[in-house]
Structure 1
């Protein structure tokens, strides 16, 4: 493009969107770095230095640590009735085409956001549901809102549960 030519409106809008996304990614990377530093601080402390640490480790039930994270970096809730309950990391993936299979989608999601445990494809509805292995990967995917897979932009949204009927 020459110096006398003005970029089209679409180009300007796309450039602005790209700059916004880059700013969001920078903020997200700072958050992840802070989380990792906090996790390192938690894991470096001895779990039995005080009575409260022991009580916390019993509440979370994680191999004597006081961290609310399991070994796969999943956020988990305290034990309830002897069972460990993990928060949902299920995302809705929309605009799936016939050319995208389960393995391809899983690879695209893992490359962009992090580990994926399971993919449930619903070809008749052109959508899928992805179970992310960590809250970090799930939040990265949902906050991004999209992923490019084999040149096709797919939407990534949090799962909306239907309201219970009365």
Structure 2
């Protein structure tokens, strides 16, 4: 069970650091005329991610009452690679990386790093994480439920982001 708590603590700390970075970037962008688009659905993403951790903890702790925790190294390796991709996304966008849709007028679209190959690599990484994190520990209900919920939210988020970035939807 110790692996679960160590990885869970790492992920939660990582998310807090990312929120700090996002808030700093948001402040920087707003000081330069940045405009937030699609704020009405942002709270749904926050809710989804909070529910994800609650479901994960409940499923893992109830699955392994009195038995040995399952740990899948291959899913852990996928998780590790997703973290490399996550950092690549953040570094590629620099001050423009955010958890919200914030655009700066008259700034060209960044197409470097993973964004050179795919429009929304961070959403792909989050999808992978929402599957592999619970699958690492055999929490398959959470592993299948939350990627689907994530995809449903992306049907709102991606069109909103595409419009904000001036792309055709």
Q: Comparing both chains, which one has the higher relative contact order based on Cα–Cα distances under 8 Å and sequence gaps of 6 or more?
A: 2
* Structure with bigger gyration radius: 1
Give the number of the structure whose residues are more often strand, by fraction. Answer: 1
Normalised TM-score (structure 2): 0.29
